[in-house]
Amino acid sequence: MRTFWKDLVISIGMGLVLPGIILNGAVTLMGQPAAQAAALPTLPVETQPAVTVSLPVLVRSETGAVQSRDMDAYLVGVVLAEMPTDFEPEALKAQSVAARTYAWKAYTTGGKHEDGSVCTQSACCQAYIEPEEYLSQGGTMTGLARVEQAVTATSGYVLTYEGELIEATYFSCSGGRTEDAAAVWGAEFPYLQSVDSPGEEDAVHYCDTFVFSAEDFQQALGIALESPPEQWFSDVSFTDGGGVAAMSIGGQSFTGVQLRSLLGLPSTNFTITVQDTGITVTTYGYGHRVGMSQYGADAMAAGGSSWQEILAHYYPGAEVTLAEEFAAG
């Protein structure tokens, strides 16, 4: 689930704030500096279950057929598809718990498909790959074993907030700071707040650059402007997570989420520079940037953080709970 399903449904509303336009041979829209990193929250290290906690999950195939599977066996395929297997063991464990929470919430509440099932499309629910297919595509037995160990080590554990399963959204990388859920989907979740996410610089899409001609830029936005591009941009605002909240282009207002969708950008955390060669958009991060950053989780794990500490950082206020206990309660 590199993009939470609401991101698919509401892919027309994200935010950005631009302090201004600098004219110095180019027009540059700059983002706000990231807030100073706070001390990491911690969770007590819990003992692992004495035995594997068996939970069901309903998996929806591309044909629409729904099959009941064992949760942990399913999660192996999710983690293989969602996170590089050479990530740190504690990051793989954090990913396992987030993915289990997403699937268990769908099973117990109906989920997006309203029948308790989760599909295997990352743009909708969670990506999935059969272990055999992973190996046939160049995956290794070592990588498979690492994922299986991470899933088993966290068997049964899910994330809750005030007794309810959370919306355990996650994504690839944030560009240095995650985003508030309210800035992306318009809904406030106390455990989906903007937090620092350092150590992502090695992410594949930490920073990307896109260059548009003036004609292509206007066509993508569905507008026609007579003034030169240097005069197009004004009234830019940013979210707490550094994403574009809103921007006026040629007198027409766009949200950051709308611009991300219309321009095909990987993130709403971006800057715009107008030059003679065209309009350059530089993005930071990949995905909706709400919840757990996978590259940030790996950086935290490499720095010595446990999976509990990683989850406490990216889902502030959430608690790690055994799903069987949650169900019994």
On average, the pLDDT of the chain sits at 87
Whether the model clears a pTM of 0.75, i.e. scores above it, the answer is yes
pLDDT for 52 equals 83
Judge contact between 257 and 188, C-beta under 8 A: no
Name the pLDDT band for 174 (thresholds 50, 70, 90).
very high
% of residues, the chain, pLDDT over 70: 83
pLDDT for 182 equals 96
> Which segment of 97-111, 133-147, 165-179, 313-327 scores lowest on mean pLDDT?
313-327
The rounded distance, in Å, linking the Cα atoms of 119 and 108 is: 15
> Which segment of 30-39, 97-106, 164-173, 250-259 scores lowest on mean pLDDT?
30-39
Q: pLDDT, tens digit, for every residue of 267-311?
A: 999 999 999 889 999 999 999 999 999 999 999 999 999 999 999
C-beta atoms surrounding 179 within 10 Å: 32
According to DSSP, residue 227 is labeled S
What backbone phi and psi angles, to 5 degrees, belong to 135? Answer: -70, -40
pLDDT for 25 equals 33
Those residues whose C-beta lies under 8 Å from the C-beta of residue 240, and which sit 6 or more positions away, are 179, 180, 183, 194
pLDDT for 29 equals 42
What backbone phi and psi angles, to 5 degrees, belong to 184? Answer: -105, -50
Checking if the pLDDT of 325 tops 70, the result is no
Instruction: Dump the DSSP string for 100-111.
Output: HHHHHHHHHH-T
Judge contact between 107 and 56, C-beta under 8 A: yes
pLDDT for 277 equals 86
pLDDT for 276 equals 87
The rounded distance, in Å, linking the Cα atoms of 159 and 149 is: 19
Question: What's the mean pLDDT in 162-178?
Answer: 97
% of residues, the chain, pLDDT over 90: 81
pLDDT for 324 equals 78
82, two tokens: 């969602």
Q: pLDDT, tens digit, for every residue of 45-92?
A: 444 555 689 999 999 999 999 999 999 999 999 999 999 999 999 999
The rounded distance, in Å, linking the Cα atoms of 199 and 40 is: 14
